[in-house]
Structure 1
Amino acid sequence: MVAPTLNTMQRRCGFTGFVALCCLLLLECLKVAGNVPFAQEVSDLHWHRAVATWYGSPEGDGSDGGACGYGSLVDVKPFRARVGAVSSMLFKKGEGCGACYKVRCLDKSICSRRAVTIIITDESPGNYGANIGRPHFDLSGAAFGHMAVHGRNTELRNRGELPVVYRRTPCKYRGKNIAFHVNSGSNDNWLSLLVEYEDGDGDIGSMHIREVSDILFFHEYFDYIKSKWNWSLPCKGKSRRANRYIDKWQANSNEWIEMNHLWGANWCVNRGPLKGPFSVKLTTLSTGRTLSARDVIPRNWSPKATYTSRLNFL
């Protein structure tokens, strides 16, 4: 067998590197929408006893804002008329925000067999909120009335307080993807995000952001080698400039910065200066499912803006 010449080995090195780079780019493109591994459902097959009340106007949508910080979202679909406040044991100091429950009243003479689906947006007031051992749902007038059989909504609301049963159910926002609202006051040194329209668990156990995108590095590096090496990937160590690209990527592309739970459904990171675009990784509280939305917040982000991803848990 004839030993390969130096030129042959260089061409092979270049071609192999080019193929490797293309494979990495392909993987990034496949992952760009996010990472949603399989996990158990959040559904609860068992009904649990609680008490329910209602507040606001009889056909009202619910509290505007509330202790979760959803603001005016509660006034529009899919939140509209489906929101509720819960006692401390379900609110979980804000970590229960966004979770969904089915609630059904028990009096067969007036209560419908169907349950209403409630999205947690607030904490119950007064003694209900402080009573850790007693599950309580404080529903919007519209949601409370929907538990009645047809035509007896007002009569049911006149009861004021009802024994009910409840169970956890997956959240489903048809036609919606997870969105991230940048809260007012956010800047290059302090970034606060509110998560919206999370299917499945609905709750959040942890959040991380990442400043530098893998795909940005590959685009820059690919353009560089295309112009300098005629589509061939140089072996590491041949070029200081190429090594700087590699070092930059290795140092930044995999660094997820942990965010702190601020209040309600709001999370923040106090570390600067921060530069977009930002990728965001969510881990749910209930089942530990993880989702990564790559470069969902653009380089020129601004406070009070909402940025929608291309994915969701369901």
Structure 2
Amino acid sequence: MELKHQLGLLCVMLLLPALSSATNYNTDYCPWNPYKNSRASYYGTRDGYGTSSGACGYGEYGRTVNDGKVAAVSGLWKAGSGCGACYQVICKVPKLCKANGVTVVATDYGEGDRTDFIMSPRAFEDLGVSPDASKELKNYGTLDIAYKRVPCNYFPRNIAIKVQQSSSNPGYFAMAFLNVAGSYDITSVELWEDSRKQWSPLRRSYGAVFDYANPPRGQLLLRFQVIGCDGTYLKKPKPVPADWKPNMTYDTGLQLN
């Protein structure tokens, strides 16, 4: 009887990690959350779009995604896992601010005077009800705002893997995920090493960029974990082809809703 009891306890202990990982979730990402109060400012660029040198490591994608309506964040950075998150931002100046505000994508890190968002010019200007109102808002410099996390929408585009310019086949592999829809953060990425018959973690190098030194030759099998309002999921994209190259983007065949 005692042995059966011990075996039963062992089974429960083995099952608990699997159950907890399957039911883990973060209510901060839920669309029914209330707005939070903060402040927002903007930075300057030549054409009003974002910057290709943002700390998330998105390159040109970080400049033009969401029609250039992007933002640098600090408190929402979350050690880089906040890269790619979408937020609805509404300013509070009567008669000047649009009721529904603007949706921005976090593509950079930036700190301001008690601000949660430092926005691209296109994003900041889209807060206004008219072009004249937008000019007036820019004269304020910094605005009181309300914001909340909202799902990103990239349909019909799939999630893509962007191989970073710093990569070198086969000695060094660095990548970032693009077009991550929904309200999910990518928390970890792993690569299958067939010679060792195991999944090995990639390092979060900076921002949205994960890297791996001396990856196996041939196609690369990856899997990644996302966390959102409805739970934590493990996703397996299509393999990265064996002849992968720096600056190339590869379709994963996956979408998140």
TM-score (norm 2): 0.80
Take 1:175 and 1:304, find their aligned partners in 2: how far apart are those partners?
22
- Which structure: greater strand fraction? 2
2:124 match: secondary structure: helix
Instruction: List aligned pairs for 1:42-191, cutoff 5 A.
Output: 42-57=30-45, 60-76=48-64, 78-87=65-74, 89-125=75-111, 127-128=112-113, 134-151=114-131, 152-186=133-167, 187-191=169-173
Instruction: List aligned pairs for 1:231-242, cutoff 5 A.
Output: none
Take 1:105 and 1:172, find their aligned partners in 2: how far apart are those partners?
22
- Deviation, 1:57, is 4.4
Larger radius of gyration: 1
- Deviation, 1:44, is 4.6
Asked whether the equivalents of residues 56 and 63 of structure 1 are also in contact (C-alpha less than 8 Å), the reply is no
Instruction: List aligned pairs for 1:291-302, cutoff 5 A.
Output: 291-295=235-239, 297-302=240-245
Q: Which amino acid aligns with 2:36?
A: H
Take 2:254 and 2:172, find their aligned partners in 1: how far apart are those partners?
26
Take 1:50 and 1:274, find their aligned partners in 2: how far apart are those partners?
46
Structure 1 stretch 272-281 or stretch 93-102: which is displaced more? 272-281
- Deviation, 1:184, is 2.4
**In 2 relative to 1, CA 182–211 (structure 1 residues): closer, same or farther, beyond 3 Å?**
farther
- Deviation, 1:71, is 0.9
TM-score (norm 1): 0.66
Q: Which amino acid aligns with 2:78?
A: K
Asked whether the equivalents of residues 45 and 51 of structure 2 are also in contact (C-alpha less than 8 Å), the reply is no
Gap regions ≥5 residues in structure 1: 1-36, 129-133, 213-247
Take 1:114 and 1:264, find their aligned partners in 2: how far apart are those partners?
29
**In 2 relative to 1, CA 59–110 (structure 1 residues): closer, same or farther, beyond 3 Å?**
farther
- Deviation, 1:43, is 2.3
Asked whether the equivalents of residues 97 and 202 of structure 1 are also in contact (C-alpha less than 8 Å), the reply is no
1:164 match: secondary structure: strand
- Large movers: runs of 4+ above 2 Å: 39-45, 78-81, 184-190, 285-290
Question: What is the CA deviation profile of residues 130-155 of structure 1, one whole-angstrom value per residue up to 9, with x for unaligned ones?
Answer: xxxx4521011111111111242111
- Deviation, 1:306, is 1.2
Take 2:123 and 2:254, find their aligned partners in 1: how far apart are those partners?
29
Count the aligned residue pairs: 229
Question: What is the CA deviation profile of residues 39-75 of structure 1, one whole-angstrom value per residue up to 9, with x for unaligned ones?
Answer: 8864252100110101114960122231101111134
Take 1:260 and 1:288, find their aligned partners in 2: how far apart are those partners?
19
1:117 match: secondary structure: strand
Question: What is the CA deviation profile of residues 93-146 of structure 1, one whole-angstrom value per residue up to 9, with x for unaligned ones?
Answer: 212111111100012221110121110001114x54xxxxx4521011111111
Pair 1:193 & 2:193 matched? no
1:195 match: secondary structure: strand
Take 2:30 and 2:233, find their aligned partners in 1: how far apart are those partners?
10
Alpha carbon RMSD of aligned pairs, Å? Answer: 2.5
- Deviation, 1:159, is 1.2
Give the percent of matched residue pairs that are identical in Structure 1 and Structure 2.
30
- Which structure: greater helix fraction? 1
